[in-house]
A and B are shown apart, each in its own frame.
Chain A
Amino acid sequence: MLSRRTLIVQLPALALAGSYAVRAFGADKSVTVGINLPLTGADAQAATKIKQGAQLAFDEANAAGGVAGYKVNLLVLDDGTATAGQYDPAQAATNARKMVSDSSVVAAIGPQMSGSGKAMSPILSQGNLAIITPASTNPDITNPKMAAQYRPAGKAVYFRTVTTDAYQGPNMANYYADTLKVKSVYVLDDSGAFGVGIADSFQTQAEKRGIKVLGRDQLNPKEADYTTILTKIKPMNADAIYYGGVAQAGVKLAKQSYDILPKLIKGGGDGMHSTDLLSGAGFPAAEGWYVTIAAPHVLDKPEVAAWAKRFQDKFGGPPEDYSITAYDAGLVIIDAIKRVAAAGKEVNRNNVRDAIQASKVNTLQGEVSFDENGDITNRVVSVFQIRKDDKYPLNDTIHQYKYVGVAPASS
């Protein structure tokens, strides 16, 4: 009994000893970046693409001789659990503590889900460890009104390389009104935090802009049949539908709405900017969807195309939108470490956090900087339309999504 207990207590210590040993024998100096994503369960697919984006940034930096002489190790943690069957905020909190209690961790990337972010942020704040989310868009966490809850220690620790729901949904509502001349819309979401949030903010702005919101309903992402709701929408003679949510429900929605509501304008948020949508729904079902991403349009820039190729070569599959924001998050952290080292300061999490806060980094999506709450200052929302391009693989998000303009911000 006693010896077993000791062994259990010692195991993590051994693991730590292992990584110290690496530092001794590997590169001269190393730091660790934590990654927390729901790599198990229902969200595994998208999470893996995000992880690969981040990993690519650090692998490239390490291959180029490290970051200011430091080798960057990744501490990849999974906040998807079998217990929850998907992302699990309780595990996310545990993972945040793992990062905080490992003193070699200087910054982190993640989480994918806002529910996890809410559980992690207070812990990270106390540990003064900066995390950059490439995907979670619920505005509560960086809302200054809720600072006492989510950053009790004061400083911003929850940074984003995506804009929050506060922009993507409303800007698309403006685009619907101004460019697409939509007069009436039916709003759907996928019952997830991201989907509900973006659909809510779309709906509010759409009503403000005089678009008639004919109704609002919620899709169960685990269910296959959406014909009921689509049939219900059919006689309403709506101009458009707007869908807030990720591709899991989006694939089925695209397929079935193509059958039942072929003539409507269909649009969604960045959850629909996904290889899963292209390969799962396929053409012609996906054709014509308007999809926003919460970043300036960069995807047809030559360096991004080259990057996409590197990604494809390394991981055997095309990147997604959030692979880019994750890669950018990696670049921000790398840049911060470099600046800390260049300033002659110790590369620790306090200094790295301050450096991230002061970032002005050129990334795939352009220059990234953050406001005092951690939100990205560049709030451009770009609109794409899915148009089949036979010259490229049909699941290639870079080429099957055509840039059609910027979704205007609300004045």
Chain B
Amino acid sequence: MAGRDRAAPRRGTIGAETFAFLWRASPVQWIAPHWRPRVAVALVTLAALVFPVLHRNDADIDSAANALAYAALALGLNIVVGFAGLLDLGYAAFFAIGAYTYGAFASFQIEPSWSPFWQPFEALGLVAHIGDVVHFTVSFWLMLPVSALVAALFGVLFGAPTLRLKGDYLAIVTLGFGEIVPIVARNTPSVTNGAMGLNGVAAPQLFGWSFGVDATPYYYVGVALVAVLIFASGRLKSSRIGRAWMAIREDEIAAAAMGVNRVKFKLLAFAIGAAFAGATGTYFVAKLQTATPEMFMFPVSVMILVMIVFGGIGSIWGVVVGALILQMLQSWFLQDLSQWLHALGRLLDVQWLQQIELVQSIEMIFGLILVTMMLYRRQGLIPATRNVRALTMAEQTAQVELAAPPPVERLRGDFTYCGPDPLLAINDLTVRFGGLVALRAVALTVPARSVVAVIGPNGSGKSTLFNAVTGLVTPESGSVQFAGYPIERLPPHVVLGRGMARTFQNIRLFPNLTVLENVMIGMHARLHAGVPGALLHLPRTRREEAEAREHCREILALFGNRLTPRADHVVSSLSYANRRRVEIARALASSPKLLLLDEPTAGMNPAETLELAGQIKSLHGHGLSIVLIEHKLDVVVSLADNVVVLDHGEKIAEGPPDVVRRNEEVIRAYLGRSASLGNAPQESAPRGSAAIA
């Protein structure tokens, strides 16, 4: 979110100099920069651990323990909303599911009658029998992961119908589930005791010692829970999975085209987000030893959302801090402040001071915080995107070095296709949008290791052709054979996996991610790390990540010193031409056999065009097959082996560039009456740049 408003003026920087001074004077300067995050984490951990020892107020510890539960919830919602960009307005539902799962298996609520069926369970300590009834006594520690799992299942269940919906529709459906779950809880008293609230939920036990009602042990469990979830969030965020989520968040279509299985990763986000809430629900109920449906209503979902917005959407430490501050503000600080004012009032004998109840205005305060944050500090307390050192003048004005040969040599094997010819065969392809026929019975063949250019006037169906071939649009009829297999019904991420990557006419990068992250998402389909690998940093995963990073840097190096120095820059800060290059690099990172380039030089000046054409040529020289949509005829002529001309969705000509440029019909369709081919391209260039500016 932060990057989007980067142009907006920074308000509220009063005192910036003071902070700068304090910063320079602070002991932080003694610590080496790369150690600072670790020292900070160590200090925070230490503070969290000693807090109950130093501050022996049971109520404040309890308040902190509750706040930790909300921090855990915020971390979970952050996965769904912050990482994957799926707006969930009913997140409290999963909190409720986790809470009641533990509540049902560790209380007097469900008491089936005793039968031998239960004997093995009794032996495992999961149930006890008192007289004729079975009493569930499943351990808290066992229920933590079980509840997480149950909630994750519901996450998938609730996520599934929303997959095809975009943000706002998604919001209302999740809101609906958020409403439904407490109603079901209220109306199924046999499991939940309904509105009366659960009775007799067991306190956790550790080696036979019961936690009882003292707040401190719960506090430490809360600290551990939040620590684990912070750790898991961090690991996930920096993994292949986190990159896929952020790709979906930034641009769903581009993510799919880069090989991200949207269905799988959206459901995974729902499931993991729900799992966090499920575990937290168990913790919360074990601590409270009761639960009522009112604890999980819409305001809870909204409040968790407010917490992550306040802390910084997508920022792991941000959402934790946001949750802790807002929760403790209402349960601790404001109450104490009110008491303090009352004491002052009594001391001074001022009546109105004794009457102030700040807590009653808490919702008002929250509303004001929310609006103020949104207007003046949208990125939250601790923004998710970090600032990167700007390039020095020397780096910015450095001589352009064109791709050095070695990396290309090393990449040769990735790009070379050695299967049956042709690589791509399109037959009789028809695409229809309602009444409009966008493509009519188009045929096209791309032999291995060739460059085919597709030209035609605007609206002639060139981009639709790409969309249909890559699975973004389902053709009405016709066949698309890639490397000998039909692919016309495959979803985009599978098409990419088969070895066909593309760029978009109007650049679809992931604007708030860095250059390197963008390119690494291109590698998504070539990597294999799953959730366990990401969480545990298994050796295999670590090796894979390191290799991927190396590979991506090699890809960046194809563009000389254009991208390499900017690898850690957010792409939205790049120049237009560099963004085009990043998009091509991202496509190349997937090791395609066939690259579809949609107007790659649009908006570039002649020198940049020449440079890019050279780079494309060198890629082709190293085995890559290319289909190119291009308006600049000199580029087409210099690169293409074969040219296909589309007009009104139909192929009107095909042949070597020289032949096609003399074709009368092409000249008429493409250029109007009397113009000559040489002047044509300029028309399209400003359009491309206008769309981006």
Contacts and interface: CB of A to CB of B under 8 A. Distances in A.
Interface of A: 1, 5, 9, 11-12, 14-15, 18-19, 21-22, 25-26, 39-41, 44, 73, 75-78, 81-91, 93-101, 114-115, 118-119, 122-123, 125-126, 138, 140, 146, 148-149, 152, 191-193, 195-197, 218
- Counting chain A CB atoms within 10 Å of each CB, which of B60, B200, B290, B363 scores highest? B290
A138 B196 contact: yes
B199 interface: yes
Contacts of B213: 122-123, 125-126, 152
Interface residues of B, number: 60
Contact of B196 (A5, A73, A197): A197
B336 interface: yes
Contacts of B330: 81-83, 91
- Counting chain A CB atoms within 10 Å of each CB, which of B212, B284, B346 scores highest? B346
Contacts, number: 166
Given A21-B347, A82-B366, A115 B294 contact: yes
Contacts of A44: 360
B371 interface: no
24 contacts: A11-B333, A18-B344, A22-B343, A39-B359, A78-B359, A83-B327, A84-B294, A84-B295, A84-B299, A85-B298, A86-B294, A89-B197, A90-B69, A90-B288, A94-B59, A100-B59, A115-B197, A119-B288, A123-B213, A125-B213, A138-B196, A196-B194, A197-B195, A218-B187
Contacts of A1: 43
B336 A12 contact: yes
A164 to B, nearest CB: 12
Contacts of B287: 90, 93
B195 A193 contact: yes
A193 B360 contact: no
A87 B294 contact: yes
Contacts of B61: 97
B641 interface: no
Contact of B299 (A75, A83, A91, A218): A83
A15 B292 contact: no
Contact of B363 (A41, A88, A148): A41
Nearest to B60: A12
A99 B60 CA distance: 11
Interface string B123-138: 0000000000000000
A269 to B, nearest CB: 14
B47 A5 contact: yes
B289 interface: yes
A77 B299 contact: no
Contacts of A25: 347
A328 B31 CA distance: 63
Interface stretch (B50-58, B245-253, B433-441): B50-58
Nearest to A15: B340
Contacts of A84: 294-295, 297, 299-300
B148 to A, nearest CB: 20
B336 A11 contact: yes
A101 B294 contact: no
A14 B62 contact: no
Contacts of A192: 195, 294
Closest 3 CB pairs of A and B: A85-B299, A18-B343, A97-B59
A254 to B, nearest CB: 21
B186 interface: yes
A86 B294 CA distance: 8
Interface string B180-217: 00000011000000111101100000000000111100
